[in-house]
């Protein structure tokens, strides 16, 4: 870990890659090293270099998978706080590693903690902000839960305000991307049939 202090990007990246391999290999023994490695990962996750952040996210993923249920929640939440600003990265490789790391941390600290972060961004006015949060939400919530949300959204389609109807329509689009359009279309068609019978 002392080699990481060398101000050479290739050396630092090599250290991060070796840590990633090490934590993938040692599994549960990672618990003994989490607090020693956290400052190094903190520095790497806020580095300007994309490759540093990508490799650091891979290290966090392997650490989180190794310490599931071993009581390192405080370190995992600290690393989660450093992972979230990287969700808006433009490189697909970096985004994939960040999402994988967040999912691993979700396993380590429980879904409730991570979902508290996700709720804040699900209905943000800007689409570019909403998309990564919806991706995390889709990974966490199963299809049955989506169908329950669909039934609740049907009432929003009857709202008087156009903005509410538009938001409900957009949410149906997100749900269709998450579970497939067939189930969402079936729900909407069943709702139309019920409305025709009532009128």
Tens of pLDDT, residues 73-83: 888 888 888 88
Q: Is the pLDDT of residue 4 over 70?
A: no
Q: Which carries the bigger pLDDT value, residue 27 or residue 48?
A: 48
- Assign domain 2-110 one CATH number from 1.10.10.10, 1.25.10.10, 3.40.50.2300, 3.40.50.300: 1.25.10.10
Spans of all domains in the chain:
2-110, 143-198
Give me the pLDDT at residue 36, please.
83
Best-predicted range by mean pLDDT (96-100, 144-148, 178-182): 96-100
Residue-wise pLDDT for 49-98, tens only, equals: 888 888 888 888 888 888 877 777 888 888 888 888 888 888 888 888 88
Mean pLDDT of all residues in 149-177:
79
Predicted TM-score (pTM) of this structure = 0.67
- What is the secondary structure of the chain as a DSSP string? -GGGGSS-HHHHHHHHHHHHHHHHHHGGGGGGTHHHHHHHHHHHHT-S-HHHHHHHHHHHHHHHHHSTTTT-HHHHHHHHHHHGGGGG-S-HHHHHHHHHHHHHHHHHH-HHHHHHHHHHHHT-SSHHHHHHHHHHHHHHS-HHHHHHHHHHHHHHTT-SSHHHHHHHHHHHHHHHHHH-HHHHHHHHHHHHHHHHHH-
- Mean pLDDT, residues 159-188: 77
At 123, is the pLDDT very low, low, confident or very high (cuts 50, 70, 90)? confident
Q: How confident is the model at residue 143 (pLDDT cuts 50, 70, 90)?
A: low
Residues near 36 by Cβ (< 8 Å), separated by ≥ 6?
Answer: 1
Least confident segment among 115-119, 146-150, 165-169: 146-150
For the cut 80, the answer to whether the pLDDT of residue 188 exceeds it is no
pLDDT for the residue 91: 83
Listed range (30-34, 153-157, 189-193) with the worst mean pLDDT: 189-193
């Amino acid at each position: 870990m002392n080699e990481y202090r060398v101000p050479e990007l290739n050396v630092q990246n090599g250290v991060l890659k070796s840590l990633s391999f090490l934590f993938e290999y040692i599994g549960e023994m990672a618990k003994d090293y989490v607090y020693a490695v956290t400052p190094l990962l903190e520095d790497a996750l806020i580095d300007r270099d994309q490759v540093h952040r990508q490799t650091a996210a891979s290290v966090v993923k392997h650490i989180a998978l190794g310490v599931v249920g071993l009581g390192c929640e405080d370190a995992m939440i600290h690393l989660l706080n450093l992972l979230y600003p990287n969700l808006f990265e433009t490189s697909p490789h970096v985004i994939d590693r960040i999402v994988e790391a967040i999912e691993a941390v979700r396993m380590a600290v429980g879904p409730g903690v991570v979902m508290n972060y996700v709720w804040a961004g699900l209905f943000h006015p800007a689409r570019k902000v909403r998309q990564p949060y919806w991706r995390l939400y889709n990974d966490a919530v199963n299809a049955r839960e989506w169908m329950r949300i669909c039934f609740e959204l049907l009432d929003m389609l009857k709202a008087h305000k156009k903005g509410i109807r538009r938001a409900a329509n957009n949410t149906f689009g997100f749900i269709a991307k998450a579970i497939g359009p067939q189930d969402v279309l079936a729900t909407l068609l069943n709702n139309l049939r019920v409305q025709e019978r009532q009128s």
